[in-house]
């Protein structure tokens, strides 16, 4: 891959068809945030030229001389401050050099710049023989020389430009077909002449190209002759059959992709063939990154196109609710935009995304099926690996119920919750299988902890009848659970909602209910008037067994812990008033009802009016405390408790 230049008998100077100065400023300052990608672009172009030659050679006999080894060579020259990237691919004619390197866009700069600004909507990629990526050369060089000889011809031409609006063409010589591109590096970028830096960039960006990439070795003393060292592996794990890849190799790739020193919890190797072809490997880490819940945290998979690395965090192919996943995707036909930093074709990226989501959910399903043994009451328990996954990433996975409800049926079997009747985690299908005879619905309660929910008055009736309640204690549960329509045909009901008649399956007969409402009507009217700023209704409860009262949610109301969170961030927000339910059989409620009846019958007041109002306030405060919410006036509540205790002790 060497070339020599003939004396310049005739040098042609041409103006770029587009105003290259403006375009280069855009490329350098806007499109490429990382200058080192110039080597990726130029190696990628060389690889494309080799691919084209290999394709043409299938039908054009003799195009590639027998015994020719195709590949790419990189030659740094510290003395001349030049870096040369050479290939023996398809090459270019004089006209092709002028067209491909002298024209950035067919319709001129103005239209081209407009297309760049709308890169997501327009196909401005020219990822082929010297497309737009070629101009990334000027990120690091102040002069670029290209010598090329088209396959099947004997003439070579040299293209030269400083990127200042013009280029020159002149005859040259080259021993074989292909292209050599020489960068005259700016002083600020001479580090790219160091062998170790070139090797690092090749390994990072182009390690998996199938063509050999060779680096000219540094020679010392009187040694003569060029020596080249291959610096890319030339093989991609995801392109190989899974049976040919060892566990250690998968773990090595994971550590390279994630910079995590621990091995992954699980991984899946997949290949999709059809109208779109791509392959990849997804990994589930064994520990969470520190920024898992940070809004600014990057997520996505490492993206390759034909084994060329193009993007570190391709979030377009991985939804936010799977942000804990690490891995790589390699597409055979995915178009990219001019900078190769953003996906361009929404249809293809959506197809890849759908398949990646399927691969991850399939992997998690397989992980959940790995059992450690039998539980105390029969039934295989989740293995330690899935327990670790759920503890680490469960709340993130639940987000998928909200953001992609169409995936709910696949996510549903993966969910795990604590329940009211047993220690440890259970799936919703496990809870369904343990439903009591005659039970028609599954119940859940939202709160901050299992202990707090077990003491909640909202589930007293369910607990008394031995009905298992799903306890949801993650902050995400309040809105994630809305993505669950049913569990294998059984509705999931919020036990704290006013519409959830949790005592319906063992409800009192109509005459008792009517009697309870009659006996407490005066009390309920009094409580409603006293608490009108806090509650919308006071009614007899069928869910309470040992508590005097509880607050339940109206339609559209927030669970107490989420309401508290809302108030802490938006103090001016006013959640809807809740409904106060009272237990007609509790001594406190029956005593208050009797006291009000006495007042209504004309008995001596003796300060009873004020005491009743204080008792009503305390019932409301007790209901708040029982659910974990703070009373509006803790000091006043403490004073009332002290007065009641004093009166009680005095009577003892």
Domains of the chain: 3-230 (3.30.565.10), 237-367 (3.30.230.80), 374-494 (3.40.50.11260), 509-651 (1.20.120.790)
SS (H, E, C) 173-239: EECCCEEEEEEEECHHHHHHHCHHHHHHHHHHHCCCCCCCEEEECCCCCCCCCCCEEECCCCCCHHH
Encode pLDDT of 3-36 as tens digits: 555 544 678 888 766 555 566 666 656 555 678 8
Rounded to whole angstroms, how far apart are CA atoms 423 and 450? 10
Predicted pLDDT at 106: 38
- Which stretch of 181-190, 357-366, 518-527, 626-635 has the lowest confidence by average pLDDT? 626-635
Residue 249 — very low, low, confident or very high, per pLDDT cuts 50/70/90? confident
155 in helix, strand or coil? coil
- Residue 507, helix vs strand vs coil: coil
Question: Around Cβ 505, how many Cβ atoms within 10 Å?
Answer: 15
Over residues 423-429, the mean pLDDT reads 93
Q: Are 217 and 227 in contact (CB under 8 A)?
A: yes
pLDDT at 340: 40
What integer is the mean pLDDT of 569-585?
Answer: 83
What mean pLDDT do residues 300-326 have?
Answer: 86
Sheet architecture: strand order including 469-472: 418-419, 469-472, 442-446, 492-494
Q: For residues 294 and 299, give the distance between their C-alpha atoms in angstroms, rounded to a whole number.
A: 11
pLDDT at 372: 58
Count CB neighbours of 399 within 10 A. Answer: 19
Closest CA to 330 of 317, 341, 344: 317
Percent residues over pLDDT 70 in the chain? 82
Which pLDDT belongs to residue 627?
82
Are the CB atoms for 101 and 134 separated by under 8 Å?
yes
Angle between helices 384-403 and 346-369 (to 10 degrees): 140
What is the reported pLDDT for 109?
45
Pairwise CA distance, residues 323 & 209, whole Å: 28
196-208: per-residue pLDDT in tens?
A: 999 999 988 888 7
- Burial letters 267-296, b for 16+ CB under 10 A, else e: bbbbebeeebebbbbbbbbeeebeebeeee
- What average pLDDT does this structure show over 121-134? 40
Dihedral sign computed on CA atoms, order 529, 531, 533, 536: negative
pLDDT for residue 125: 32
Q: What percent of the chain has pLDDT over 90?
A: 45
Give me the half-sphere count of Cα atoms (radius 13 Å) on the Cβ side of residue 364.
25
Higher pLDDT, residue 76 or 379: 76
**Over residues 503-532, mean pLDDT:** 80
**Of 8, 33, 48, residue with least CA distance to 168:** 8
pTM value is: 0.71
3-class DSSP assignment, residue 263: coil
| pLDDT tier, 382 (very low <50, low <70, confident <90, very high otherwise) | confident
The confidence band for 166, taking pLDDT boundaries of 50, 70 and 90, is confident
Per-residue pLDDT at 131 exceeds 70: no
Token pair, residue 594, equals 């009797």
> Helices 37-57 and 195-205: crossing angle, nearest 10°?
60
């Amino acid at each position: 891959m060497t070339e020599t230049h003939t004396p310049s008998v005739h040098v042609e100077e041409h103006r770029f068809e587009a105003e290259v100065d403006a375009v280069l400023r855009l490329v350098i300052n806007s499109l490429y945030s990382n200058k080192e990608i110039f080597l990726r672009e130029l190696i990628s172009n060389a690889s494309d030229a080799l691919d084209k030659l290999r394709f043409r050679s299938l039908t054009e006999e003799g195009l590639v001389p027998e015994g020719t080894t195709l590949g790419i060579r990189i030659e740094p020259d510290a003395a001349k401050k030049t870096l040369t990237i050479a290939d023996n691919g398809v090459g270019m004619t004089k006209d092709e050099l002028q067209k491909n390197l002298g024209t950035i866009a067919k319709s001129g700069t103005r239209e081209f710049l407009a297309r760049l600004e709308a890169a997501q909507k327009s196909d401005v990629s020219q990822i082929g023989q010297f497309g737009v990526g070629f101009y990334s050369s000027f990120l690091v060089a102040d002069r670029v020389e290209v010598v090329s000889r088209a396959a099947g011809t004997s003439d070579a031409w040299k293209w030269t430009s400083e990127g200042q609006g013009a280029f020159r063409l002149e005859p040259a010589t080259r021993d074989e077909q292909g292209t050599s591109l020489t960068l005259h590096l700016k002083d600020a970028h001479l580090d790219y002449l160091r062998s170790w830096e070139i090797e690092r960039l090749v390994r990072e960006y182009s390690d998996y190209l199938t063509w050999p990439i060779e680096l000219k070795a540094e020679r010392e003393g009187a040694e003569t002759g060029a020596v080249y060292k291959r610096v890319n592996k030339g093989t991609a794990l995801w392109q190989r059959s899974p049976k040919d890849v060892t566990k250690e190799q998968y773990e090595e790739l994971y550590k390279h992709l994630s910079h995590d020193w621990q091995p992954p919890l699980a991984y899946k190797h997949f290949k999709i063939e059809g109208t779109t072809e791509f392959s990849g490997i997804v990994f589930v880490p064994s520990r969470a990154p520190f920024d898992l819940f940070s809004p600014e945290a990057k997520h996505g998979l490492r993206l390759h196109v034909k084994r060329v690395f193009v993007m570190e965090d391709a979030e377009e192919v991985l939804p936010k609710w799977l942000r804990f996943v690490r891995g790589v995707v390699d597409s055979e036909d995915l178009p990219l935009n001019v900078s190769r930093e953003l996906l361009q074709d929404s249809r293809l990226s959506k197809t890849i995304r759908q398949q990646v989501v399927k691969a991850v959910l399939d992997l998690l399903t397989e992980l959940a099926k790995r059992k450690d043994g039998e539980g105390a009451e029969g039934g295989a328990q989740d293995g330690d690996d899935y327990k670790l996954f759920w503890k680490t990433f469960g709340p993130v996975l639940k987000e998928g119920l909200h953001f992609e409800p169409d995936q709910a049926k696949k996510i549903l079997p993966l969910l795990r919750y604590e329940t009211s009747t047993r220690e440890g985690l259970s799936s919703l299908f496990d809870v369904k299988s343990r439903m009591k005879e005659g039970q028609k619905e599954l119940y859940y309660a939202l709160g901050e902890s299992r202990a707090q929910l077990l003491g909640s008055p909202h589930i007293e009736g369910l607990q008394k009848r031995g009905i298992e309640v799903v306890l949801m204690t993650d902050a995400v549960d309040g809105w994630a659970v809305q993505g669950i329509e049913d569990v294998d045909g059984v509705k999931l009901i919020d036990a704290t909602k006013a519409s959830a008649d949790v005592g319906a399956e063992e409800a009192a007969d109509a005459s008792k209910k009517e009697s309870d409402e009659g006996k407490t009507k005066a009390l309920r009217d009094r409580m409603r008037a006293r608490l009108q700023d806090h509650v919308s209704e006071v009614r007899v409860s069928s869910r309470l067994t040992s508590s005097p009262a509880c607050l339940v949610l109206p339609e559209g109301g927030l669970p107490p812990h989420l309401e508290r969170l809302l108030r802490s961030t938006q103090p001016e927000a006013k959640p809807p008033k809740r409904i106060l339910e009272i237990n007609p059989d509790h001594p406190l409620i029956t005593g208050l009802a009797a006291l009000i009846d006495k007042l209504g019958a004309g008995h001596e007041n003796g300060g009873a009016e004020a005491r009743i109002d204080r008792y009503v306030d305390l019932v409301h405060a007790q209901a708040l405390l029982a659910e974990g919410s703070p009373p509006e006036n803790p000091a006043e509540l403490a004073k009332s408790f002290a007065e009641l205790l004093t009166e009680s002790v005095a009577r003892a």
